[in-house]
Structure 1
Amino acid sequence: MKRLFALAVLALVACGPTQVAAQSGRAVLGFGEDRGAGRQVPLAQVVRSIAARHPGRHLNTTMGEYGGRAAYFVQWQMENGRVVVFVVDAESGRELGRQGG
């Protein structure tokens, strides 16, 4: 499973510029209401949104950038056991893509 996750993250990195949130100076979790000013959707809200559409369980989350925007990379195990990495825009909570599964 760890190899699959590592391969999925590497594939996502190859698809677009990725930079660790700490290196970019952005907060990992922003809890403010003003999402238009660089604030981020709470991770708990992102996980609830994924769970509502895709039954399974949350395994891990990392932060980075995808297409120049802050993003959550959410590792999710589907009901059938397959692992998917969802790429979610950290400011809007919108799913940008997925890898695996």
Structure 2
Amino acid sequence: MKRLLVIIALFTAAATAPLPAMAQDGPPAAGRQAPLSRVLATIAARQPGRHLNTTMGEAGGRPAYFVQWQLADGRVVIFVVDAESGQIIGRQGG
């Protein structure tokens, strides 16, 4: 019975917790993220290839996308993109 009460309490807490902010279209504002679709379009315009994976983290104390991108020749590059402005701020590999 105690397990059931704990499970119910956990589900209730999860259901009432605030959802994380989602990336939105339009110009970025303080604390908002550039839409991932726009970030991927920017990378594709600069470097033909395909998107493999994206993770979130920090770069220089700011939120950042780490976009894993496969180039046309098969090499893999990780683009570091400022999550608020959508600007590419670094590149690793490739």
Q: What range is the shorter-chain TM-score in? A: 0.7 to 0.9
Structure 2: which amino acid aligns with 1:35?
Answer: P
Instruction: Check 1:38–1:32 CA distance in 2 against 1; reply closer, same or farther (3 A cut).
Output: farther
* 2:85 matched residue in structure 1: 92
Instruction: Check 1:28–1:77 CA distance in 2 against 1; reply closer, same or farther (3 A cut).
Output: farther
Tell me, in whole angstroms, the C-alpha distance in 1 between the residues paired with 2:48 and 2:39.
14
Q: Deviations over 1:8-63 (max 9, x none)?
A: xxxxxxxxxxxxxxxxxxx4742164623211110011001100110000000000
The structure where helix makes up a greater share of residues is 1
Percent identity of equivalent pairs: 65
Unpaired runs of 5+ in structure 2? 1-19
Structure 1: which amino acid aligns with 2:87?
Answer: R
Q: Say if 1:58 and 1:75, in contact at 8 Å, map to a contact too.
A: yes
1:53 paired with 2:19, answer no
Q: Say if 2:58 and 2:64, in contact at 8 Å, map to a contact too.
A: yes
TM score, norm. by length of structure 1: 0.69
- Provide the secondary structure at the position in 2 that maps to 1:36: coil
Which one has a bigger Cα radius of gyration? 2
Q: CA RMSD in A?
A: 1.5
* 2:75 matched residue in structure 1: 82
Tell me, in whole angstroms, the C-alpha distance in 1 between the residues paired with 2:83 and 2:60.
12
Unpaired runs of 5+ in structure 1? 1-26
- Indicate the structure whose relative CO is greater, using CA pairs within 8 Å and at least 6 residues apart: 1
Paired residues in the alignment total 75
TM score, norm. by length of structure 2: 0.74
